[in-house]
Chain A
């Protein structure tokens, strides 16, 4: 799977943990966090490329599955897509 980003504006890298299955985001220390607030948000193309390489490697090393970039709204700092907002907030109940 390729994590190549096609989005606009700030990006975050997300995936699911392979073992637990929970949603994670990549942090600025290049670790996976269960909390979106720790996610690294960046528009820097070099950084995005580094994130991609790291993400794909982590997938190959069986740490995470389904790595991909998401668009983040620069004003709110929250994901743009509706579905991604729910991956951050979890179930309503």
Chain B
């Protein structure tokens, strides 16, 4: 696990002191709200629909058990006993009081956490594959690169006032689990024919009101060139990105308007003016960072576990969970465990303080104290012995954390929507629950198989609806919520923006329409086709007809 160095430690501590002083001055009136707002936002503190909201950074979705326990303490002491995992792998608290926030920041700093880069027009917290360092299909561990980017981007003076926010995601496997093509910069770590590691750099992806899929800027950038090259990209964006119109300020608009080839030429020209060695970090530094991610002390195990086999044979509930929630680990005898935060009765991505503590204890007991958050708003224990899976399952079940729906229709990505968000146009949480409820029959849910439903409560698309197999956008007209449907989006390495169907639906009509489409898929699927495969084969027209059958 990465540990903060002396520099980080000092910066984080001094930021807490600064903010305490800023809050005092605000309360005394020495700072107006207008002056204070950017200061609180730089510490992740928003004023939302009902209250303040504090967004805590979870760099590349990596937490240790001590940190999650501290988040549980914060949830109990200052909030309402729960937190919420966001689609950028961070954790939000929905009810902190301004007067408590300096203490919360101190409590976070005590466990090497903070709220940097969770708001504002800066390079935001870098996201990554939640299975990093564990999954069998990766060519390298993406975390050292993500950490390098974190260190480079944190408080980089040139990037504190970008035209707009800037999101970077890094993966190191051909299976994209971080939606890198929907990021301002997406990075895929690759191995070439000579066995050398390099970077596939994508630029200009994004969701929001104008969804764009990232394009290749460099197919294979040499390792040492990463920071200088990205610095050149940021400079071009900083210079030419539009500041006159908030809706045209993201790099996706610049890249689209400039054209990828011309944009690349501009980056190359900028690169020529840089002294790469001033920006690149030394091999020693890279080695130092990498050494924090060498992985835990795995036992030498056989990949076959008799205990696991027996349990699969004798316990249907367990085997159902095993089938959906477990991913292959690169180390023999180990497995990656997904903990679903999508039970029927709780908002997607919410986790209570009790559950946080339970997960922390289980991580200590079974996963070397390591925990990950996912952009799908779930949690991962990355390194669990196969022999331990039956016991872990029982313990998770006792905490209502053993829902077996990872990747299925009820594993819905859902933004907070009108239930919490000041920008929302409609609610999203109740819609997600109505859908999960409708498909709550386990046999049916498993028969439907892989299905990504994604819901956003407004055009900003935090719920990733553009890239859902079924994407849902909540809108409002004359005081009535309605929901527009997109079909055929894909958040995997085959990223696709969904097709717009047509006029929106009420919540009830929507759930009926989804059910008709699902039945249509089940009746027409060929062989092992997933919903998305059948959609691609049969087309928008066929599904649209079923969706609007009631009209």
> Which residues of chain A have a CB within 8 Å of any CB of chain B?
1, 16, 18-23, 59-62, 65-66, 80-83, 85-87, 90-93
Q: How far is the CA of A19 from the CA of B47 in the complex (A)?
A: 11
Known: A16-B47, A21-B96, A82-B418. 11 other contacts (CB 8 A): A19-B98, A23-B51, A62-B26, A65-B47, A82-B476, A82-B481, A83-B424, A87-B50, A90-B50, A91-B429, A93-B347
Contacts of B110 in A (CB 8 A): none
Quick one: given A91-B419, A93-B347, are A19 and B27 in contact (CB under 8 Å)?
A: yes
List the 6 shortest-distance A-B pairs measured between CB atoms, nearest first. A21-B52, A91-B419, A21-B51, A20-B97, A62-B29, A82-B479
CB contact list, B23-57 vs A, under 8 A? 26-29, 33, 47, 49-52
The reply on B542 being an interface residue by CB < 8 A is no
Contacts of B26 in A (CB 8 A): 18, 62
Q: Which residue of B lies closest to A79 (CB)?
A: B479
Q: Which of A1, A20, A80, A93 contacts B429 (CB 8 A)?
A: A93
Q: How far is the CA of A61 from the CA of B27 in the complex (A)?
A: 9
The reply on B301 being an interface residue by CB < 8 A is no
* CB pair A92 B430 closer than 8 Å: yes
Count of chain B residues near A, Cβ 8 A: 28
Q: How far is the CB of B418 from chain A (nearest CB, A)?
A: 5
The reply on B346 being an interface residue by CB < 8 A is yes
Contacts of B346 in A (CB 8 A): 93
Q: How far is the CA of A18 from the CA of B29 in the complex (A)?
A: 11
Q: How far is the CA of A5 from the CA of B366 in the complex (A)?
A: 59
The reply on B258 being an interface residue by CB < 8 A is no
Highest count of chain A CB atoms <10 Å: which of B50, B52, B98, B424:
B50
Contacts of A20 in B (CB 8 A): 51, 97-99
The reply on B420 being an interface residue by CB < 8 A is yes
The reply on B427 being an interface residue by CB < 8 A is yes
Q: Which of A1, A21, A91 contacts B97 (CB 8 A)?
A: A21
Q: How far is the CA of A85 from the CA of B424 in the complex (A)?
A: 13
Q: What are 27 A-B pairs with beta-carbon distances under 8 A? A: A1-B33, A16-B47, A16-B51, A18-B26, A18-B98, A19-B27, A19-B97, A19-B98, A19-B99, A21-B98, A23-B49, A23-B50, A62-B26, A62-B27, A66-B33, A80-B479, A82-B480, A83-B49, A83-B418, A83-B424, A86-B418, A87-B50, A91-B419, A91-B420, A92-B419, A92-B430, A93-B429
